[in-house]
Structure 1
Amino acid sequence: METIAGVRTDRLGLLLDQFDKAREMGQVRLAGLGDEEYLWEPVPGCWSIRRRGEAETPRAFGPGDWLLDRGAPDIPASEYAEIARQAAGGMSVAKIAEDWSVSAERVEEVLAHTGPVEPDETPVTTIAWRLSHLHFCFAGSWEWTFGERRVDPTLLVDFTPDAAVAVERFWALMDRWRDSIATVTEAQLDTVGFSQYPYGSDPDEPYASALAGCNLEFIHHMAEIALLRDLWRARTPGRG
């Protein structure tokens, strides 16, 4: 473990410090979240959590009474550069297609793209969707890195319309996540496939890269939740 002026500068130390600071800010921004705000749909066509039987997205999932919206598989424009890096690193078109649940033809189309990339047309999502998505991702990452590596990630989280319950369960999971990450060794950080999380490229990456990706996922979705909370407070009374 390397330190300068009492601050860890080794790879794991930097990743833990980044996570801890983001979590500290996230806990402040999630404080006091109520059910109405949690489920607020600021525009038509939002993705959220829905009662079983009421979800309209083609791949909505969840083990209980509430499902998390999920659309048809595709490679968003924001990931074109990542697809190019995967291919340049030796990943086959077939493997990339499998990871993204798309056809090989779609991968080849992305790799052949030239010029500016058009912005993604993605649905606006509720706070419930963002928090549930994070919970699902980290529950699956934990199970397929530190757990038994056998439970389908889509069955790990019982989504709930109760904001207080959702927040409490999420931070309990993140406590377990943080405790497990703190035990990772330098050798494990370099191990390709230390995480076998089946949705994405974790099995093909050194764990340091996969862990950095987890931090990015946490940071950018918590920032989106924070913005939605700002918009909720600033909305016109009586509208939305």
Structure 2
Amino acid sequence: MGTTGVRTDRLGLLLAQFDQARETAQVRLTGLSDAEYLWEPVDGCWSIRPREEAVTPRAYGPGAWVIDKGAPEIPASEYAEVARQAAGGMSVAKIAEDWSVSVERVEEVLAHTGEPEPDVVPVTTIAWRLGHLHSGFAGQWEWSFGERRREPRLMVDFAPSADLALERFWAELDRWRESLGAVTEEQLDTVGFSQYPYGSDPDDPFISVLFGANLELIHHMAEIAVLRDLWRARFQLPAH
């Protein structure tokens, strides 16, 4: 603790960052309507949608509504991460398992030289971004503090109601935050404290998992904020 009462220890800094990001997000999402939540600003968006209307090969969810998910791939923006995994001693087979791709695809990425071609990725709706975050935090809580057995992709019942989705999402963040408050210094440094099966959590110290979770919250909420700005301005005439 510093002389002003502000925590400057490792966990304290990460918790403060999380708290500020959550507070900003909650203010920024005030007044979200169902229409805005599900708005698809361009053709080909990923969103949540009724199961019978799913348009992506791996859309998932336990209920009547599912969230879009495409075929597994290593995007160009993650080539450097794959290289770091290999440099850190992770086998090609383990990397392939981590990314749900073939060994040949990992070898292709590792052999790549020069700048990779920019990724072409779908635009995602506010509903998709919130659902993606909710699913991630639910899964990481289960595989860090829960029974470490439930399938993360079946833990969130995606809803077409913005109010209901937000109510459930804030409750999930509260559960995550409450559990983090009791994490010890030893647990922060424990490799594999989180066994979340989608990603590198089992191979990372828990402090790295917390850092990554904060980044996910911050960057997706920033994207949601831009979508809210675009929704508000969608009928304005262009300046001449």
TM-score range, shorter chain: over 0.9
Task: State the match for 1:166 in structure 2.
Answer: 165
Structure 1 residue 177 displacement after superposition: 0.5
Task: State the match for 2:175 in structure 1.
Answer: 176
Output the CA distance in 1 between the equivalents of 2:213 and 2:9.
Answer: 18
Structure 1 residue 184 displacement after superposition: 0.6
Q: How does 1:181-192 map to 2 (within 5 A)?
A: 181-192=180-191
Output the CA distance in 2 between the equivalents of 1:204 and 1:109.
Answer: 23
Could you tell me which amino acid in structure 2 is paired with residue 51 of structure 1? P
Please identify, of 229-238 and 54-63, the stretch whose mean Cα deviation from structure 2 is larger. Answer: 229-238
Which ranges of structure 1 fall in alignment gaps of 5 or more residues?
A: none
Task: State the match for 1:135 in structure 2.
Answer: 134
Task: Show structure 1 runs of 4+ deviating over 3 A.
Answer: none
Task: State the match for 1:102 in structure 2.
Answer: 101
Could you tell me which amino acid in structure 2 is paired with residue 79 of structure 1? E
Output the CA distance in 2 between the equivalents of 1:171 and 1:222.
Answer: 13
Question: Alignment length, in residue pairs?
Answer: 237
Output the CA distance in 1 between the equivalents of 2:213 and 2:59.
Answer: 22
CA RMSD of the aligned region, Å? 1.1
1:42-97 Cα offsets, whole Å, 9 max, x none, are 00000000101110100000000000000000011111111111111111111110
1:166 to 1:88, Cα distance in 2 relative to 1, 3 A:
same
Could you tell me which amino acid in structure 2 is paired with residue 161 of structure 1? P
- Give TM-score, length-normalised by structure 1: 0.97
Paired residue secondary structure (2:66) = strand
Could you tell me which amino acid in structure 1 is paired with residue 21 of structure 2? A
Structure 1 residue 5 displacement after superposition: 3.0
Q: How does 1:3-14 map to 2 (within 5 A)?
A: 3-14=2-13
Q: How does 1:1-240 map to 2 (within 5 A)?
A: 2-236=1-235
Which ranges of structure 2 fall in alignment gaps of 5 or more residues?
A: none
- Give TM-score, length-normalised by structure 2: 0.97
Output the CA distance in 2 between the equivalents of 1:24 and 1:165.
Answer: 18
Percent sequence identity over matched residues? 75
Paired residue secondary structure (1:7) = coil
1:100-138 Cα offsets, whole Å, 9 max, x none, are 100011111111111112221000000000000000000
Please identify, of 61-70 and 77-86, the stretch whose mean Cα deviation from structure 2 is larger. Answer: 77-86
1:122 to 1:4, Cα distance in 2 relative to 1, 3 A:
farther
Paired residue secondary structure (2:53) = coil
Output the CA distance in 1 between the equivalents of 2:159 and 2:76.
Answer: 31
Structure 1 residue 237 displacement after superposition: 6.2
Structure 1 residue 210 displacement after superposition: 1.0
Could you tell me which amino acid in structure 1 is paired with residue 12 of structure 2? G
Output the CA distance in 2 between the equivalents of 1:183 and 1:114.
Answer: 45
